[in-house]
Amino acid sequence: MKLALAQLNLTVGDIVGNVAKIKQTIQDAKNTAADVVLFPELAITGYPPEDLLLKPQFVTDNLTALKEIAKIGKGIAIYLGFVDRQGTNLFNAAAFIENSKIKTVYHKMNLPNYSVFDERRYFKPGNKVAVVSYKGLKIGLSICEDIWIEKGPYIQAARQGAKLILNINASPYHVGKIKTREKILKQRAKQIKCPIAYLNLVGGQDELVFDGGSMVVNAKGQIIAAAHQYHQEILIVDLRAEGKIQPWMSETEDVYQALVMGVRDYVHKNHFSDVVIGVSGGIDSALTLAIAVSALGKEHVHTIYMPSQYSAEQSFRDAQRLADKLWVPLKVMPIEKIFKAYLEELTPNFQGQPANITEENLQARIRGNYLMALSNKFNWLVLTTGNKSETSTGYSTLYGDMAGGFNVLKDVPKTLVYCLANWRNQEKEIIPRSIIDRPPTAELKPNQKDQDTLPPYDILDEIIKFYVVENKSGQQIVAKGFDPKTVKKMIAMIDRSEYKRRQSPPGPRISPRAFGKDWRLPITNGYTGEAYS
């Protein structure tokens, strides 16, 4: 039995485009003499279609598309994800199409409704295990979560004689996820003594990145074929032989490539070609720029340096050196004159109040206005440069440095920003050493340093990991040896910044818990995080 695992980059909602890609792939698979071609979970609609599913016409269109695809299935079998409908009930479904006939429709039995998933909002769970006979082989059908669950339907399928399990996925990336997938698949295959063909989606969709890395595991729990991460590919596997095994990337490269794909797909799938980035001479904008160039090519990336009276000379030198190394031009647009004009208009209304965060935010907002003006004038998408340490603590200006369409490092803590910069510099210095070595500063008042306000980033990022990713309480974090005052202050900052995050642009998720679909904290929130006594 020869399988073709179509690890495609599809687009949510673009039924017409997805169908064209699926049809072309079926032709390609036929040309390789494959017996079955697999497509990802909800391939026709893209994943996750979210509230598009509440539009009855959208579901109808996807059903029409399924029939159209089936028509070209002569001489091959197709296992394809789509949305099924019975009355008003929807199902996360997959059709097994043999020789142009829809032979079996399987309804996903295990619907994830945690983390970034809301499948219970849309779908009813299926209640029937599906095993099809094809070319003398019994094949068990499953979708994504079905294989993650202990005692999932694959067990019953094996009992009913299945000698192969097909599992189609839209499994979003986070650090280390591919190893988890590999481990679970090996376990499952050994448990049921049956090979599993695991196909994943590839591509970015708003905050989610699907990393590909499809694989086939044999009945002994060994990988016999593995596809690229972050690339479209049709992985061809003859079940009797070992196929191509693409080794997985290192964890740091993995994050970098996830960010690159996240940016590229957000920009292109939203019909932009070019982006603009405000570079400050600091490490966050430097890494953002490097990623953007990797994603889009240097000719599609525009950079602006926007100095104020508080900008050090080193900042400009570093920004210029960075731009030179990446071969992108650097435009300089000072903000001082406008800042003064604001102060002249505003100060009479400030009733003698002392300078405070107001004046700092104003500078950041003038820069935001510049970037948005360039965006409006030239149709460049603004990439923002804040990192997860800043997004967590609210160390950023709403409508200022937060203004833009996509926040590349939104889920990347500062300590990981440094790792990624060093990784990027491995072969050749792209991000100037002086940027990496310089103590971080927002340059919004004289001699400002991040560490005037925040604890050292290695400490802050640990606190963020425990509090944001792992839902630990302040007491639990203190028990790990952190300073109680620091923990209390950081938790308060994180909680208080919810209103800012709610108005922040999306950014690619790379951790098990990012600010986005899996972060639904109330803004109005009286919980102090301190234990009730």
Tell me which of 150, 313, 344, 437 binds a copy of itself, using CB under 8 A: 344
Is the distance from CB of 140 to CB of 36 less than 8 angstroms?
no
Return the H-helix or E-strand segment holding 164.
Answer: strand 164-168
Cα dihedral 57→105→33→236 (10° resolution): 90
Residue 195 · residue 225 · CB < 8 Å: no
Could you give the string, one character per residue 148-177, with x where binding to a copy of itself holds by CB under 8 A and - elsewhere? ------------------------------
Q: Is 58 in the site for a copy of itself (CB under 8 A)?
A: yes
Q: Which of 133, 191, 250, 358 binds a copy of itself (CB under 8 A)?
A: 358
Residue 131, H or E segment: strand 130-134
Out of 320, 369, 425, 486, name the contact with a copy of itself by CB under 8 A: 369
Looking at residues 462 to 491 of the shown chain, list those that interact with a copy of itself (rule: CB under 8 A).
Answer: 471, 473, 475-476
What is the footprint of a copy of itself within residues 62-91 (CB under 8 A)? 62, 64-65
- CB nearer to a copy of itself: give 243 or 368: 368
Segment interacting with a copy of itself, rule: CB under 8 A, options 227-235, 284-292, 399-407, 458-466: 399-407
Amino acid at the residue 60: T
Asked whether 90 and 54 are in contact (CB, 8 A), the reply is no
Only one of the segments 312-320, 420-428, 457-465, 513-521 lies at the binding site for a copy of itself (rule: CB under 8 A); that segment is 513-521
Among 3, 42, 43, 46, binds a copy of itself (CB under 8 A): 46
Lay out the site mask for a copy of itself across 303-342 (x = CB under 8 A, - = otherwise). Answer: ----------------------------x-xx--xx--xx
Using alpha carbons, list the distances in angstroms from residue 409 to 324, 406, 474. Answer: 22, 9, 26
The window from 96-104, 211-219, 309-317, 371-379 that contacts a copy of itself (CB under 8 A) reads: 371-379
Closest CA to 62 of 123, 18, 7, 112: 18
Q: Min. distance of Cβ 73 from a copy of itself in angstroms? A: 18
Q: Amino acid letter at 499?
A: Y
Stretch that binds a copy of itself, among 49-57, 126-134, 221-229, 284-292 (CB under 8 A): 49-57
When the beta carbons of 140 and 404 are compared against a copy of itself, the nearer one is 404
Assess contact for 508 and 408: CB atoms under 8 A.
yes
CB of 227 to a copy of itself, least distance (A): 23
Site membership for a copy of itself, residue 98 (CB under 8 A): no
The catalytic residues are 41, 108, 144
Residue closer to a copy of itself by CB (options 33, 523) is: 523
Contact 244, 203 (CB under 8 A): no
Specify the stretch interacting with a copy of itself by CB under 8 A; choose among 1-9, 125-133, 210-218, 518-526. Answer: 518-526
Nearer to a copy of itself, 345 or 427 (CB): 345
Query: How many Å apart are CA 183 and CA 206, to the nearest integer?
Result: 28
Using DSSP's 3-state secondary structure scheme, residue 381 falls into strand
Q: Which two tokens stand for residue 259?
A: 């960010």
Q: Does 36 bind a copy of itself (CB under 8 A)?
A: no
Could you say which of 187, 191, 314, 525 contacts a copy of itself (CB under 8 A)?
525
SS3 438: coil
Q: By CB under 8 A, what part of segment 426-465 binds a copy of itself?
A: none
How far is residue 219 from each of residues 21, 215, 239, 513, measured CA to CA in Å?
32, 13, 10, 33
| DSSP structure string for 318-347 | HHHHHHHHHT--EEE---HHHHHHHHHHHG
